[in-house]
Amino acid sequence: MTIRDVARASGVHVSTVSRTFSAPHLVNAETRARVLAVAEELGYRPNRAARALTTGRTHNIGLIVADIANPFFPPLIKAAQSSARERDYHLFVADTDEDPAVEEELVLAFSKQVDGVILCSPRLSNKALDKLAERVPFVLVNRRLRGVATVLMDVAQGARSAVEHLAALGHRRVALVSGPAGSWTSGEIKQAAAEVPGVELVVIGPNAPTEQAGIRAAAAVAEAGVTGVLAYNDLVAIGLIEGLAERGVSVPEDVSVVGIDDIVPGRLNRPKLTTVAMPTADAGRLAVELLIQSVTASTTLETKLVVRESTAPPKGLT
Partner DNA sequence: CTGAAAGCGCTAACAA
Partner DNA sequence: TTGTTAGCGCTTTCAG
Q: Which residues bind DNA (CB under 7 A)?
A: 2-4, 11-16, 18-19, 21-23, 26-32, 44-47, 50-51, 53-55
The residues with which 258 forms a beta bridge, in sequence order, are: 230, 274
Site string for its own copies, 227-246 (x = CB under 8 A): -----------x---x--x-
> Would you count residue 207 as binding its own copies (CB under 8 A)?
no
Residue pair 264/280 in contact by the 8 Å Cβ criterion:
no
CB neighbour list of residue 33: distance below 8 Å, 6 or more residues apart: none
Question: Of the two residues 16 and 207, which places its CB atom closer to DNA in the complex?
Answer: 16
Residue placing its CB nearer to DNA in the complex, 45 or 146: 45
Task: Name the minimum Å distance from CB 5 to DNA.
Answer: 8
Contact pick of 5, 9, 42, 92 for its own copies (by CB under 8 A): 92
Closest by alpha carbon to 245, among 220, 222, 224? 222
Distance of CA 194 to the CA centre of its chain: 26
| Minimum separation from the CB atom of position 113 to DNA (A) | 11
x-or-dash string of contact with its own copies, 7-46, rule CB under 8 A? ------------------------------------x-xx
Q: Select from DNA, its own copies, none the partner in contact with residue 82, using the beta carbon and a kind-dependent cut-off of 5 to 8 Å.
A: its own copies
CA angle, corner 262, sides to 261 and 267, nearest 5?
A: 155
Shortest spacing between CB 173 and its own copies, in angstroms: 26
The least CB distance from residue 300 to its own copies, in Å, is 24
Buried b (16+ CB within 10 A) or exposed e, 91-111: bbebbbeeeeebbbebbeebb
Q: Which residue lies nearer to DNA by CB, 55 or 250?
A: 55
* Interacting residue ranges for its own copies, rule: CB under 8 A: 43, 45-50, 52-53, 58, 60, 67-69, 71, 73-75, 77-78, 81-82, 85, 90-95, 97, 108-113, 135, 211, 238, 242, 245, 264-265, 268-270
